[in-house]
Amino acid sequence: MHMWSRTVKLTCGLLWLGLIWPALTGCNAIKTMMLQAAPTSEKVPAEFNRLTGKKVLLFVWAPPEILWDYPKVRLDLAAYVGAYLDKNVKNVTVTDPLHVEQYLEQGGSSGEADPVEVGKHFHADMVVHLSVYQFSMRDPGMAHFYRGRIASSVVVYDLTRANEPAERIPLRDVRVAYPEEKAGYPNVRPDQIRQATYDAFSVEVGKKFHEYDHPIG
């Protein structure tokens, strides 16, 4: 009798599992499907969406103390940002940054030229004015560690309105650090850090002018 009771209990238990297990596995499957179907990114609209199909000039300003240590920083940043825009903004035409730099150097300008007048000289529709106010490749007080930092204001001048002053459109400032962690890299070449920092800067500036995907979570 005792053996028969245990058999009945075991049978009932197996029957209960047979009934409930499909429901449980079904719930897990639904959860898995929901997680897989959930979006992993969201669309972020452009902060300024009027560069499409336009001729754009990049005008980079930097103070004398930065130019003293990095004399080609205007050309470098303009070239990196220009390459990003050319790749990611539809039908944009970027004025060759080398031609702009040569024009500024021939005029004896250290970056104090009027960006609107420079834009008109090159027949640009839009001028993106980057005014760099922070630029360094080392952590303060940590001479052995390289860590790039760039901070810049961003202003767009719209030159498309005939016989009217250029429209000035200020955008949010850009601040980047590479690597993002506080401690920099001790055993890398400074040009590697500088290139990676330029890349990060060009992405943050360039994303202002086109829609992009931002990861969720």
- Average model confidence (pLDDT) across the chain: 84
210 in the same domain as 191: yes
pLDDT in tens, 102-137: 999 987 555 579 999 999 999 999 999 999 999 998
Instruction: Tell me the sheet residues that pair with 207.
Output: none
103 in the same domain as 29: no
Rg (CA), the chain: 28
14 in the same domain as 110: no
Closest CA to 188 of 138, 146, 136: 146
pLDDT in tens, 16-64: 445 444 454 555 655 555 556 666 789 999 999 999 999 999 999 999 9
The number of folded domains in the chain is 2
64 in the same domain as 26: no
121 in the same domain as 25: no
Domain with 23 in it: 2-38
Residue 77's CB: how many other CB atoms inside 10 A? 25
159 in the same domain as 96: yes
- For the entire predicted model, the pTM comes to 0.79
